[in-house]
Amino acid sequence: MDTREEMKERCLQEIERQDEEAAAAKVKGEEASGEE
Amino acid sequence: MSKVLGSAPYATVLNQDIYELSSTQKHRLGTRCVRGDRAFRYAKAIASFTRTSTLAYSYYHQDIAYAAIATASVVGDNKIYVTVGAADGIANDGVFAAHSLEGGSLVIFDASANENMYFGILDNNAAVSGGTMTITLDGELPLATVATTYHVEAIGSPYRVGVGNPGGLRYWAGLPMRMATTTNPYFWLQTWGPCWIAPQTSVGASANHGCVVARHDGSLDVQDTSGYSDAQIVGSVMSYSQAGGQGAPIIMLQIAP
């Protein structure tokens, strides 16, 4: 079982991962639509 | 339907419980509910959530930018008529769906005496660029005339929200009580009172680190962290650890009481 600190760290990592994923999807979408 | 206890000496009956999602709208957006120290607003998810550990942001930018009054209104009226701009609306295309401004706010700039007026928005009809939109106010106009020389700036409800990274350019509206989706978009946001929101390592970690701001991703940080010194202040740490370091920490959220 995670300690409290591990749980919070995991939470922040997941937030960061989701942000990167959203940013990558946005770039991909812009490439597909021909935007710069 | 549920009863909310602890908000007042009497029970508040809701059409949708604070911890319930709904596919249909059961209250006006922004409807306020209080339970003890905690306050909630009825909200709508514009995109599906991926977490409830961070704050949700107001999804849209400003809806109406300095629009001219198309037809004058007079004292006692509760409607104004504005000319829709080509870049107004949620998609910058001059298109407004009916009721899309429900729960919003506006300012009317008085061109004659600088007696500006501030109202909440009850409703609007559908309109497109160059057309006239009727906006129903939550009060009656106090001045003799709102003339065609007057202008209006307006936002729709800030409780149309998303979760994620709005790039530091949106208002943080509150903490989602459930993982809302585009299929079940109606839910309650906590806007005031004790809660937990993902804290960066400095939050409540040492002396005088109790004032928290929202980062670009809706997690919390202390105000003096690089890049966030002017970020939106959203509350205070309520619980340090016994050793004086970071506890949970439970936060006294202070966005809308």
Mutating which of A4, A6, A8 best tests the B interface, going by the most B Cβ atoms within 10 A? A8
| Alpha-carbon gap: B198 to the closest alpha carbon of chain A (Å) | 7
Closest by CA to B240, choosing from B196, B191, B207, is B207
A33 CA to chain B: closest CA distance, Å?
17
| pLDDT at B174 exceeding the cut of 90 | yes
- Between the two ends of chain A, the Cα-to-Cα distance in Å is 46
Residue of chain A whose Cα is closest to the Cα of B165: A19
Q: Across chain B, what does the average pLDDT equal?
A: 94
Cis peptide before B249 (omega within 30 of 0): yes
pTM of this structure: 0.92
pLDDT in tens, B176-230: 999 999 999 999 999 999 999 999 999 999 999 999 999 999 999 999 888 899 9
A11 vs B contacts (CB less than 8 Å): 53, 198
In Å, the largest CA–CA distance within chain A is 47
Least confident of B7-21, B42-56, B224-238: B7-21
Phi, psi values for residue B245, rounded to 5°: -100, -160
pLDDT digits (tens), chain A, 36 positions: 579 999 999 999 999 999 999 888 888 877 877 654
| β-bridge mates for residue B83, sequence order | B132
Show residues of chain B in contact with A19, CB under 8 Å: 164-165, 216-217
Q: Which domains, ranges and CATH numbers included, belong to chain B?
A: 1-58+161-257 (no CATH), 64-155 (2.40.30)
